[in-house]
A and B are shown apart, each in its own frame.
Chain A
Amino acid sequence: MGLSGTIDSSVYEGLKDVLRRYPTVTTVAYEPDSIVKKFLRAQVDPNRVFPPTGPDAPTLDVEWRFTTDDQYYRIHYADPNTGFNCGWHRDDDHPELGPVHFQYENPVTGGNKHERANFEKELPTEVLWTALDRLFDERLPDLTDS
């Protein structure tokens, strides 16, 4: 769903920096293009994730928005090879789960779930680092290794 708030493209420069430095990420670009700059899309090397996937590169979308008092975001991973997708969303979709939730969908196992999530840090770059660590070190191995 659409996130509340407005985008601040200067924030994307910092987030792009974090994505570029992440070992599993190969390229990072603006979507739909570098003029409209709605969100960032990183391409992930299918051979560098565990368990390995392929041949197509999974994508990682990062969108951040701000209101006067709060931030809303979507950090979402999608594997075109298996249809597996998951991510952390800070939006108004699941108020019963608190401000941030993690959701995943695995068409291979039929599994899907929305659960409560929390980030200790507030700065977008620090939230993104933590999310990337959780994604590649814990979530992907746990949820897609069959």
Chain B
Amino acid sequence: MADDTERDDERASMTRGERVRAAARTLRTPRTASWIADETDVSVKTAQKYLDQLVADNVLRKIEQGDQTLYCVDQLMATYREVASLQREHSREELTSALESMRTTITDWQTTYGVETPGELRASIADLDDADEIEERREVASEWEHLDDRIPVVQAALTEYDWATERDTISV
């Protein structure tokens, strides 16, 4: 492996805190501070310091399990932040039309494949021999699952859109 020095330099452009903070947002499985420290090449004490800040900022949740303290993404808060950024970055019309388009896409898949859910579409693969058709159905099922995840978030952003916009005004 060449260029180890250069590699360290590039990562060093991110401070230890930034590196732990970026990594922490990907903690879907609860992990200990020492595991995170090992992954991000920082000391356990440093990791702990930034992780506890992120807990205070409602980005992470701290879970006590036996004698271990574990950290993971606070999914509820992450979803609220996601809803807020959709409301702040997009007009009501943009969100409405995106929502309609996602729903139409799903309706089209339901008609095309004669199934109601992505799970049913995946199940239909078992009866097929054509590799391309199998590939296509797997691809669609995976996109469908993603849209199923996004629709409630976009819907939530629209439901309280006016209320959020009102709260978002800055009085000068």
Interface on A for B, CB 8 Å cutoff?
1-4, 6-11, 13-15, 17-18, 21-23, 33-38, 65-66, 121-126, 129, 133, 137-138
Contacts of A22 in B (CB 8 A): 10
Q: Assess the A6–B145 pair: CB atoms within 8 A.
A: yes
Q: Assess the B28–A129 pair: CB atoms within 8 A.
A: no
Residue of A nearest to B138 (CB): A2
CA A65 – CA B2 in complex, angstroms? 31
Q: Assess the B2–A137 pair: CB atoms within 8 A.
A: yes
Contacts of B27 in A (CB 8 A): 123
Query: How close is B93's CB to chain A, nearest CB, in angstroms?
Result: 12
Apart from A21-B14, A137-B2, A138-B3, 10 more pairs, CB < 8 Å: A1-B138, A1-B139, A6-B149, A8-B73, A14-B23, A15-B26, A17-B25, A18-B14, A22-B10, A126-B40
Shortest beta-carbon contacts, A-B, top 6: A14-B25, A2-B142, A2-B139, A10-B78, A124-B26, A35-B98
Residue of A nearest to B6 (CB): A137
Q: Assess the A1–B135 pair: CB atoms within 8 A.
A: yes
24 contacts between A and B (CB under 8 A): A2-B139, A3-B142, A6-B145, A10-B73, A10-B81, A11-B26, A14-B24, A17-B18, A21-B14, A35-B90, A35-B95, A35-B98, A37-B150, A38-B143, A38-B146, A65-B142, A121-B39, A122-B39, A125-B22, A125-B23, A129-B11, A133-B3, A133-B10, A138-B2
Interface residue? B154 (CB, 8 A): yes
Partner of B82, one of A9, A14, A17: A9
Query: How close is A131's CB to chain B, nearest CB, in angstroms?
Result: 12
Q: How many residue-residue contacts, CB under 8 A, span A and B?
A: 96
Q: Assess the A11–B28 pair: CB atoms within 8 A.
A: yes
Contacts of B147 in A (CB 8 A): 36
Interface on B for A, CB 8 Å cutoff?
2-3, 6-7, 10-11, 13-14, 18-19, 21-28, 36, 39-40, 73, 75, 78, 81-82, 86, 89-90, 94-95, 98, 102, 135, 138-143, 145-147, 149-150, 154
Partner of B26, one of A14, A133, A138: A14
Contacts of A122 in B (CB 8 A): 39
Contacts of A1 in B (CB 8 A): 135, 138-139
